[in-house]
Amino acid sequence: MANKSIQLLSIFVVLLGLWCLSDATKYRKMVGIYELRKGDFSIRVTNWGATIISVVVPDKQGKLADIVLGYDKISSYVVGTSYFGALVGRVANRIAGSRFTINGTPYHLYCNNGNNSLHGGHRGYSAVIWDVIEKVDGDSPYITFYYNSFDGEQGFPGDVDVHVTYKISPDYKLTVTMHAKPQNKLTPINLAQHSYWNLGGHSSGNILNHRVQIFASHITPVDSELIPTGEIASVDNTPFDFRKPMTVGSRISQLKGGYDHNYVVDSTPDELGLRRVAVVEESQSGRVMELWANQPGVQFYTGNFLNGTEGKGGAKYMQHAALCLETQDYPDAVHHANFPNEIYGPGQAYEHVMVYKFSARK
């Protein structure tokens, strides 16, 4: 009942505008929807959760379609539990037991996934109103959002300044750049972009026939609560091996529910430090999405928990209606010394760059 009351209150404040208190000064923050467009390529975003609402690209015949799942109304994003298109943090994915220790100091987080913390807690970065810093049109339109994450937010230590920029270019590239700077304390940071992709169109059915290639020879196995065990395991002779293009559905029945695992990206970085992470292709439309990023891991998720959620245009999103490829640090890294570091302090900067490259094969 308490959670339901919180959700209803959240809808109310978004519809009327959110009144916030900061340093005893009251100010109003409003939610908006913003479009970036270049020819027949466009995206729509909102400062609620720095969320991607739509991505429209042509297929092999030039027919346009929106290829990300989402809602028609902002109020649905407020109460939704699927993180459609959201920027999640302060720490994406799960933290076991909703607690961790830095230099002997224990920190206790908000539990929102059983006993664990998921995507920053019940009011993580996906559930706050971001400031719009800049929106620029032109050859490569972009928009930048900013959020000041305060000390103690959802239990995390220290103030952190966070920026995310969404930029599109005429060659059908969508670049997402995430920056975060701790101001006064050591803190874990691991941001992720949580869009759900269906290259046939958001309402076209499931993604089991999408062909996926992931440039990773290892995964970080998980337990029954989807918490990493600390092992780094080879994908050889397992249904996790996507080093060669395979349809999503070819081996999904061997897994309980579907894919929801972190892959260890091992392709060679380019001159900008970006690795080729994955390629997805949908044969009927001919659409192809190639993902590059500078993070060591990528969460491959196949919409296992979708169960008829009503989306854009009244579409019903059933299980496996889309897939996510969330580049990231390894999940639960605060508990595994053998995982890449995700603790940052004052004077250090977190930077996460993703580049989606869209095309269509005839």
DSSP assignment of 154-168: GG--S-EEEEEEEEE
Which tokens in the block code for residue 140? 């490569």
Q: What pLDDT is stored for residue 362 in this prediction?
A: 81
Write the pLDDT tens digit of every residue in 109-157: 999 999 999 999 999 999 999 999 999 999 999 999 999 999 999 999 9
Write the pLDDT tens digit of every residue in 246-260: 999 999 999 999 999
Active site residue 342: no
User: Choosing from 153, 281, 282, 326, which is the catalytic residue?
Assistant: 326
Is the whole model's pTM more than 0.75, yes or no?
A: yes
Q: What pLDDT is stored for residue 51 in this prediction?
A: 98
Cβ atoms 20, 27 nearer than 8 A: yes
The strand pairing partners of 130, in sequence order, are none
301 marked as part of a ligand binding site: no
Write the pLDDT tens digit of every residue in 259-304: 999 999 999 999 999 999 999 999 999 999 999 999 999 999 999 9
Which of 14, 53, 50 lies closest to 146, judged by CA?
50
Distance (Å, whole) CA 227 – CA 334: 12
137 marked as part of a ligand binding site: no
260 marked as part of a ligand binding site: yes
Residues lower than pLDDT 50 in the chain: 1-26
Residue 86 dihedral angles phi and psi, to the nearest 5°: -80, 160
In the numeric block, the tokens 């995206």 are attached to 43
Residue 4 dihedral angles phi and psi, to the nearest 5°: -65, -40
Which tokens in the block code for residue 80? 């939704």
Q: What pLDDT is stored for residue 318 in this prediction?
A: 98
250 marked as part of a ligand binding site: no
Q: What pLDDT is stored for residue 29 in this prediction?
A: 81
Nearby residues of 240 by Cβ (< 8 Å), 6 or more positions away: 219, 259, 261, 263
Q: What pLDDT is stored for residue 79 in this prediction?
A: 94
Question: In terms of DSSP H, where are the helices of the chain?
Answer: 2-16, 74-79
User: Choosing from 194, 210, 320, 352, which is the catalytic residue?
Assistant: 194
Count of beta carbons in the 10 Å neighbourhood of residue 77: 24
Report CA 278 to chain centroid distance, whole Å. 15
Active site residue 271: no
Q: What pLDDT is stored for residue 28 in this prediction?
A: 65
202 marked as part of a ligand binding site: no
Nearby residues of 6 by Cβ (< 8 Å), 6 or more positions away: 122
116 marked as part of a ligand binding site: no
